[in-house]
Chains A and B, each alone.
Chain A
């Protein structure tokens, strides 16, 4: 069964450094998402991406965050200057059509020191 893959599985970064989280969505999917889950808390929406542009973003997704689909297969989340509170699991999701559910990757655990 096709799946969403995320790399790396664990990223440790010094505060203030830039980090790029990578995702390969399911082939032929058109909608792409990033969510995060702080330990013990809800899965929170960050951003959705469709037709090569951001379609929706949350208050969390401030100027320090950006997303890109650099080629036909990858979808990346960049955090420009990481803060301690950015430590969380980051999940990528993709969806085929607007009436289908989202499928999630296994996440990248981001630890900011």
Chain B
């Protein structure tokens, strides 16, 4: 099984709110975890890239991976209207150039 599950939303929050986006997966062999942002009619844009369990922070974005629960999260602090987009989680089995497995994406709207 290589399924990645993600709540499609839509999610609507006021500007300045903390946003929490989540994905679950079934294959415990996944080791690399990514979050991409996709604007309408654009390609996925890499936000965060993490290996195995733990936290990674980059500016207003924090990625968390809990391999024991097969659960990953992306937190956006002080959300801005420009954060309005679809957020895709993705994961891969190893670092040998394998394909990425994507969630369906969560549509986020940040209201000014």
A-B contacts counted at CB < 8 A amount to 57
Closest to A107 in B: B43
Give chain B interface residues in 56-112, CB to chain A under 8 Å: 88, 90, 95-105
Known: A98-B95, A101-B34. 5 other contacts (CB 8 A): A6-B43, A45-B99, A45-B101, A48-B98, A106-B41
Whether A41 and B98, one on each chain, are in contact in the complex, defined by CB atoms closer than 8 angstroms, is no
Bin chain A's interface residue count. 20 to 34
Once the chains bind, are A106 and B98 in contact (CB under 8 Å)? no
- Secondary structure of the A side of the interface? strand
* Contact call B104/A91, Cβ cutoff below 8 A: no
- B interface residues with partner A (beta carbon < 8 Å): 32, 34, 36, 41-46, 49, 88, 90, 95-105
A102 sits at the interface (CB 8 A): yes
| Those 7 A-B pairs whose CB atoms lie nearest each other, nearest first | A104-B43, A45-B99, A99-B95, A43-B102, A101-B49, A106-B43, A31-B97
Closest A residue to B51 by beta carbon equals A99
Q: Mark A40-79, 1 if CB is under 8 A from B, else 0.
A: 0111110010100001101000000000000000000000
Q: What residue of chain B has the Cβ atom nearest to residue A105's Cβ? A: B43
- Structural contact, A91 and B44, CB atoms closer than 8 A: yes
A10 closest partner in B (C-beta)? B41
Contact residues in B for A98 (Cβ distance below 8 Å): 95-97
**Cα–Cα, bound, A100→B100 (Å):** 12
